[in-house]
């Protein structure tokens, strides 16, 4: 389909940042804005059963099959429309835009959308695939992993225009410790779940040194962090159990499932006299695993040559993990996760420079042209 209107990047970005799209308010308005923008530019989007927005260019008329077997190169541009809460109002000061989603990830979204609207593939296909629950369940990306197939993926996140070829995996879980409940004056210390939890915490601190995978050349070492403690209802009563919540940042070849089993076995070996259970939070929803794309891959090389940025690992977990199982995947976009003053993405002070959003769109567009014409 031929475009009917020029895409206005600044206007779209302003409207997107002004549109709340966190899980408390829902993403429906932001999804409608995205679909309306695509239609205005002459492209008909579709929304799949998981709420992902998809559109394609370079397909033959009437051919909407994204998984056909032609040899033409196929690139996918992906990012997300949801943000964390709470909504932070839009502000503009010259070239700087502040507000929730300014850089994570409505800045990258604007850059990818500009590329999609401005590049007409002549030797391949280009697909825009936008998810709506990256900040929560990530079921949309998992669905795309099972329904899309491509030769390369560019995932929009704030990378300061560097080319990120890897990211650690991330999962969350709990260690539940059981003991004897009763009056503080009567429960023996060896049956006290609070004392046992102290030993569990010490074992968690030792875990990677004793049983974790080796550091990855690109991603570095894995990291296991205890983040929450829950126990007790009264100061004079020993609780029946304690719960430790943990955050895991993994490196290959570890997966969330393999980590849970390895951690459980390790704790049982280290603390044979402690009754405990290891569980993942939300075991019925996906967790992103670690991935590393070859730095010599054509997509990486072209994007780096166009951007002039560093080739490095991304500093947070990302939906790129799901696509990396299918084809070479890079994370790229305007904005930063943090600067010299502290956190930017997810923070009250979130911002992006419009110059960088425009530049990101130009870089991705030229990369796409070199691969799909």
- Walk me through the domains of the chain, giving residue ranges and CATH numbers: 9-167+290-372 (3.40.630.10), 169-280 (3.30.70.360)
CB 292 within 8 Å of CB 145: no
CB 148 within 8 Å of CB 129: yes
Burial letters 33-53, b for 16+ CB under 10 A, else e: bbbebbebbebebeeeebbbb
Would you state the pLDDT for residue 2? 42
Going by their DSSP bridges, the two strands 152-156 and 74-80 should be labelled as parallel
Would you state the pLDDT for residue 3? 42
Would you state the pLDDT for residue 89? 95
pLDDT in tens, the chain (373 residues): 344 458 899 999 999 999 999 998 899 999 999 999 999 999 999 999 999 999 999 865 344 444 444 578 999 999 999 999 999 999 999 999 999 999 999 999 999 999 999 999 998 999 999 999 999 999 999 999 999 999 999 999 999 999 999 999 999 999 999 999 999 999 999 999 999 999 999 999 999 999 999 999 999 999 999 999 999 999 999 999 999 999 999 999 999 889 999 999 999 999 999 999 999 998 778 899 999 999 999 999 999 999 999 999 999 989 999 999 999 999 999 999 999 999 999 999 999 999 999 999 999 999 999 999 8
Q: How far apart are CA 115 and CA 361, in angstroms?
A: 6
CB 249 within 8 Å of CB 133: no
């Amino acid at each position: 389909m031929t475009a009917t209107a020029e895409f206005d990047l600044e206007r779209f970005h302003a409207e997107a940042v002004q549109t709340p799209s966190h899980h408390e308010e829902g993403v429906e308005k932001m999804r409608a804005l995205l679909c309306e923008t695509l239609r205005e530019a002459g492209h008909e989007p579709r929304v799949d059963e998981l709420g992902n927005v998809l559109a394609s260019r370079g397909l033959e008329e009437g051919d909407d099959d994204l998984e056909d077997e032609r040899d033409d190169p196929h690139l996918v541009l992906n990012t997300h429309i949801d943000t964390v809460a709470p909504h932070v109002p839009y502000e503009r000061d010259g070239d700087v835009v502040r507000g929730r989603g300014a850089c994570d990830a409505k800045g990258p979204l604007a850059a990818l959308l500009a590329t999609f609207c401005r590049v007409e593939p002549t030797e391949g296909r280009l697909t825009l695939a936008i998810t709506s629950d990256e900040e929560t369940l990530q079921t949309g990306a998992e669905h795309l992993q099972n329904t899309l197939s491509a030769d390369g993926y560019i995932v929009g996140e704030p990378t300061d225009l560097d080319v990120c070829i890897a990211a650690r995996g991330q999962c969350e879980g709990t260690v539940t410790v059981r003991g004897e409940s009763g009056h503080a004056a009567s429960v023996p210390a060896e049956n006290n779940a609070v004392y046992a939890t102290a030993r569990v915490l010490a074992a968690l601190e030792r875990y990677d040194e004793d049983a974790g995978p080796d550091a990855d050349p690109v991603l570095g070492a894995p990291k296991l962090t205890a983040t929450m403690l829950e126990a007790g209802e009264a100061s004079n009563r020993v609780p029946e159990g304690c719960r430790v919540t943990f955050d895991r940042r993994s490196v290959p070849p570890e997966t969330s499932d393999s980590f849970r089993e390895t951690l459980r076995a390790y704790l049982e070996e280290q603390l044979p006299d402690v009754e405990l259970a290891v569980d993942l939070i939300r075991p019925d929803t996906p967790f992103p695993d670690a991935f590393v794309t070859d730095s010599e891959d054509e997509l990486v090389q072209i994007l780096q040559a166009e951007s002039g940025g560093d080739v490095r690992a991304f500093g947070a977990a990302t939906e790129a993990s799901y696509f990396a199982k299918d084809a070479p995947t890079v994370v790229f976009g305007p904005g930063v996760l943090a600067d010299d003053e502290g956190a930017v993405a997810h923070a009250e002070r979130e911002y992006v420079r419009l110059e960088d959003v425009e530049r990101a769109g130009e870089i991705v567009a030229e990369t796409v042209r070199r691969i799909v014409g």
